[in-house]
Amino acid sequence: MNKIFPMLFLTVALLPGVLSAQYNKAARRGTAKAASELSSMAREVRVSRQIRERMEDYAVIIDYAVKHEQLNPAEMRKIQGILNRVEKMLEKSQKSGQMSVDEAKTMNRELSKAYRMLWFLRRNKLGKNQKIVFLGRNIVLREEYRAKFDRGSLNQKEMQDILHAYYSAWRVREQLRTDNLNPKQRLRLERECFVILSEYFTLDQGTGDPPKPQKP
């Protein structure tokens, strides 16, 4: 009996510490869970806002393209169909209060598809094409790619590659806005810009033939 009391006393003495440790552990789990939920909510709000902003930008582009006869009704319906699907997905996720990573990727992928269609339809298919000018030279999508687009066989990967080249050249062109470039640097950047474009675009003659890629 005498042995039981010391052990009982020891157990009672240790109990607050054990309970405190368990409480702290549970509190940390609760805090981590709450932080995770807040982080997820913040991500969903941010993604929803970005998607909504992209859709608003596209609406402005479509409105301009229609007014300037750069899209015909069938083409507009095709693009609008993609935007409508994204709108329904966005509304569904907002009503449920949850947006998975896969859903966010799907919506952004669909919006990228809509943008690529807008870019090609506005500039390369209709009779009243919008001219693209780089450094004073008109550029036109190469005939083989234009023919594939007209047949509907230009796939999304090819569109993506073409747009990647276009915007790569655009970024090089932005470097030419720097004031402290010497003539040699300016010429090098101009040649780099046209070399990038020449893979997918035909350039007018301008002041000379389009530069050819140099051998390494």
Which tens digit of pLDDT belongs to each residue from 93-125?
Answer: 877 777 788 888 888 888 888 888 887 776 554
Task: Tell me how many domains the chain contains.
Answer: 2
Specify the length of the chain in residues: 216
Q: Structure tokens of 61? A: 């582009």
In this structure, the dihedral spanned by the alpha carbons of residues 130, 200, 77 and 113, taken in order and rounded to 10 degrees, is -130
Residue 28 shares a structural domain with residue 113: yes
Which tens digit of pLDDT belongs to each residue from 29-41?
Answer: 555 554 444 455 5
Q: What is the mean pLDDT of residues 139-166?
A: 86
Q: What is the mean pLDDT of residues 196-216?
A: 61
Give the whole-angstrom CA distance, residue 163 versus residue 113: 12
Give the whole-angstrom CA distance, residue 191 versus residue 80: 38
Residue 9 shares a structural domain with residue 104: yes
Residue 136 shares a structural domain with residue 89: no
Burial (CB count <10 Å: 0-12, 13-18, 19+), residue 76: middle
Q: Structure tokens of 129? A: 């094409």
Q: Which domain holds residue 112?
A: 1-130
Residue 124 shares a structural domain with residue 156: no
Confidence of residue 6 (pLDDT cuts 50, 70, 90): low
Using the 3D structure, point to which of 71, 106, 130 is the last residue of a domain.
130
Mind giving me the DSSP string for 18-77? HHHHHHHHHHHHHHHHHHHHHHHHHHHHHHHHHHHHHHHHHHHHHHHHHHTT-S-HHHHH
Tokens 């339809």 locate to 121
Residue 68 shares a structural domain with residue 159: no
Q: Mean of the per-residue pLDDT values for the chain?
A: 74
Residue 122 shares a structural domain with residue 162: no
Which tens digit of pLDDT belongs to each residue from 69-98?
Answer: 777 788 888 888 888 988 888 888 877 777
